[in-house]
């Protein structure tokens, strides 16, 4: 797509405020999820919040540059499987629903995250 087309996803997610709210909701859901929470046992929530927010901002075409570690570098050794990945995506979808993000917008974000699967699972 065009640069303009890319920029609209960031806007349609509600921009900086919308993404901040989305990440906050997502983090709360991770905190209540028996399957996913253990992965974060030794993680810093504030560091994760910062990195995940900036990454989402960049992926959605917003005015951010994610300069954290690469997806493989972060997730290597965690032994994340398909079901874990799907669960995290599900929590993100629930968080988007809670924040009133329309289905087509949800799907546009998911389409940009799906290609990262191979950098996150079984590595
Ligand atoms: C599309 C899927 C995913 C994306 C885009 C993603 C992205 C990220 C990003 C951007 C960070 C923060 C990096 C930083 O700034 O330090 C991060 C950290 C983390 N991710 Fe993921 N992730 C995904 C899926 C998963 C899954 C499925 C799991 C586990 C089941 C997971 C577990 C973690 C953990 C535990 C951390 C914190 C690491 C630490 O700080 O110690 N992620 N992820």
| Residue 51: predicted pLDDT | 98
Nearest CA to ligand 1 atom 5: 113
Q: What confidence tens digit (pLDDT) does each residue in 32-75 have?
A: 999 999 999 999 999 999 999 999 999 999 999 999 999 999 99
Determine if residue 75 is labeled as part of a ligand binding site.
Answer: yes
Q: How far is the CA of 49 from the centre of ligand 1 (A)?
A: 10
Is the distance from the beta carbon of residue 88 to the nearest atom of ligand 1 less than 6 Å?
A: yes
Q: What confidence tens digit (pLDDT) does each residue in 65-118 have?
A: 999 999 999 999 999 999 999 999 999 999 999 999 999 999 999 999 999 999
CA dist., res. 111 & res. 114, Å (int):
5
CA dist., res. 40 & res. 37, Å (int):
5
| Residue 1: predicted pLDDT | 46
User: Do 7 and 59 touch, CB atoms closer than 8 A?
Assistant: no
Can you give the residue range of the structural domain that contains 106?
3-115
Report ipTM for this prediction: 0.96
Count of domains forming the chain: 1
Q: Is 72 within the bounds of a domain?
A: yes
The pairs formed by 84-87 with CB atoms below 8 angstroms and a separation of 24 or more are 84/35, 84/36, 84/39, 84/121, 85/117, 85/120, 85/121, 87/33, 87/35, 87/36
Domain of residue 18, CATH code: 1.10.490.10
In the numeric block, which tokens belong to residue 52?
């995940």
| Residue 3: predicted pLDDT | 52
């Amino acid at each position: 797509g065009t640069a303009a087309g890319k920029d609209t996803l960031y806007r349609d997610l509600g921009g900086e405020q919308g993404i901040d709210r989305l990440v906050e909701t997502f983090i709360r859901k991770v905190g209540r999820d028996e399957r996913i929470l253990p992965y974060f046992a030794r993680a810093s929530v504030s560091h994760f919040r910062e990195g995940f927010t900036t990454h989402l901002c960049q992926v959605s075409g917003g005015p951010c540059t994610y300069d954290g570690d690469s997806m493989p570098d972060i997730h290597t050794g965690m032994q994340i499987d398909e079901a874990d990945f799907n669960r995290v995506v599900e929590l993100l979808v629930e968080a988007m629903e809670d924040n009133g993000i329309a289905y087509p917008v949800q799907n546009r974000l998911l389409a940009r995250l799906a290609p990262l699967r191979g950098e996150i699972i079984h590595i």
